[in-house]
Amino acid sequence: MPSLLVELFDHHTIEKNVYQTFICDCDEVLFLSLKKITEDERLALKHFLLDQVSHVKQVHFRQISLNKITDDLNLFLTNYDSVTLDVFGGDSILAIFMYQYALDRKIQLLAMDVDHGLQYDWKLGKLEKKNLVVPTLSIQQLIALRGGKLLKSKQPFHTPKQIAAIKKLANFALTNPEEWLKVTQFFASARTSNLHSETGKELENNGKRYSYPKSIISLLTDADLLHIEEETSKQVSYTFSTPEAQLLCRSKGHILELYLYLLALESEYFDECMIGAEIDWNGIFPEADNVQNEIDVVLRKGRSIVFISCKMTDLSVEAINELELYATHFAGESCLKLIVCSGKINPVYINRCHEYGVLVIKNDQISNIIPMLEKKLKRKRG
């Protein structure tokens, strides 16, 4: 007969529902809750466990009432050779009832301490404590656990020379936003085919004229973003090194995303760093009316995840709402949410960010963002 792990469903922190399933070698899992478990929560958790935990063969859910708990469980548990009950997470009242039920029926009783890496086991009337290697979920797993799917993300590699040039370029863009806009508009206005362009040094677009950015070309070439093949007083021929390089040179805001990504990588503090994470909302791709979103920068340290929205424009209500919605949906309420904004910030919007738990990083704070994040995450874990 199969073995069963009984879990108390945690509505608030979804990932608490899965830690024990990785460690406990049981064939099936039963989630109990006093409140209704939504269909979306059921499907996401079931698909996650069947896909990610090889020994789990079936996943069950039961909404139970305290006055019928004994009868309901007696009926369900007769089908199993062995039963393990984990009282970590979930409803505290249900945990007390389940604790007594497990003692009465001599069911193995466990409790995890995720933060300190410990597991408590009640045996023969005594509490036993042992060290536990608690699994850490990746960014992709955390998103899948909430029903989404990470379609793609970029984790580009750069040489030290390239990184130095990109950081100088970012400093120029953040210090001179209007000049950087003209640079990107020049490259965006030039006719380009297969990453290659042969163009004049003076271009017009929507009644505005843009000049070839001679002063920063050396930074662009040092960063290996483009290669100058031929240049005269009026014409220039160049090729972008990659589609990502073309994106950076032709869009105003991408330099900020790349800069933050490189700062995070250089710190060696984070376990995962991603840029341009494209996420499908329901994990079904492709489909009609598909809903996808892109998160500019995503970082993970241990069990803490950070979503960053980069704005080289004035801060808007829409940007705040979007970040709060995406972060909560894909990473939970414990996600650390940041908006890095180099433009103007209305004080009213700052208050809105506080209400949503969104941290705003202003232009003069950007270079110090990693130490700020480290302090926030350490305080959160502590």
Concatenating the DSSP letter of every residue in 18-83 gives THHHHHS--SEEEEEESSPPPHHHHHHHHHHHHHH-TT--EEEEEE--GGGHHHHHHHHHTT-SEE
Burial class (CB in 10 A: 0-12, 13-18, 19+), 181: middle
Work out the mean pLDDT of the chain and round it to a whole number: 91
Tell me the pLDDT band of 290, cut-offs 50, 70 and 90: very low
User: Once rounded to an integer, what is the mean pLDDT over residues 144-154?
Assistant: 89
User: Once rounded to an integer, what is the mean pLDDT over residues 87-102?
Assistant: 88
User: Once rounded to an integer, what is the mean pLDDT over residues 67-90?
Assistant: 89
> DSSP 3-state assignment of 242?
coil
User: Once rounded to an integer, what is the mean pLDDT over residues 305-331?
Assistant: 92
Share of the chain above pLDDT 90, in %: 68
For the segment 154-177, what is each residue's pLDDT rounded down to a tens digit? 898 999 999 999 999 999 999 999
Rounded distance, CA 337 to CA 358, Å? 5
On whether the CB atoms of residues 23 and 136 are closer than 8 A, the answer is no
Show the domains of the chain with their CATH numbers.
Answer: 3-135 (3.40.50.10770), 150-156+253-381 (3.40.1350.10), 160-250 (1.10.10)
DSSP H stretches of helix in the chain: 19-23, 39-52, 69-77, 92-104, 139-145, 160-175, 177-189, 217-222, 243-250, 254-267, 317-331, 347-356, 369-381
Tell me the pLDDT band of 140, cut-offs 50, 70 and 90: very high
User: Once rounded to an integer, what is the mean pLDDT over residues 214-233?
Assistant: 95
Rounded distance, CA 149 to CA 294, Å? 12
Rounded distance, CA 114 to CA 303, Å? 10
Residue 90 has a pLDDT of 81
pTM: 0.88
- Cα Rg, the chain, nearest whole Å: 26
HSE-up of residue 264 (Cα within 13 Å, Cβ side): 25
* HEC string for 179-190: HHHHHHHHHHHC
Residue closest to 294 by CA, chosen among 308, 310, 305, 278: 278
On whether the CB atoms of residues 124 and 138 are closer than 8 A, the answer is no
Tell me the pLDDT band of 298, cut-offs 50, 70 and 90: very high
The residue to which tokens 């939970």 are assigned: 332
CA distances 330 to 98, 278, 282, 293, 326, Å, are 31, 12, 10, 11, 6
> DSSP 3-state assignment of 145?
helix
Rounded distance, CA 127 to CA 61, Å? 29
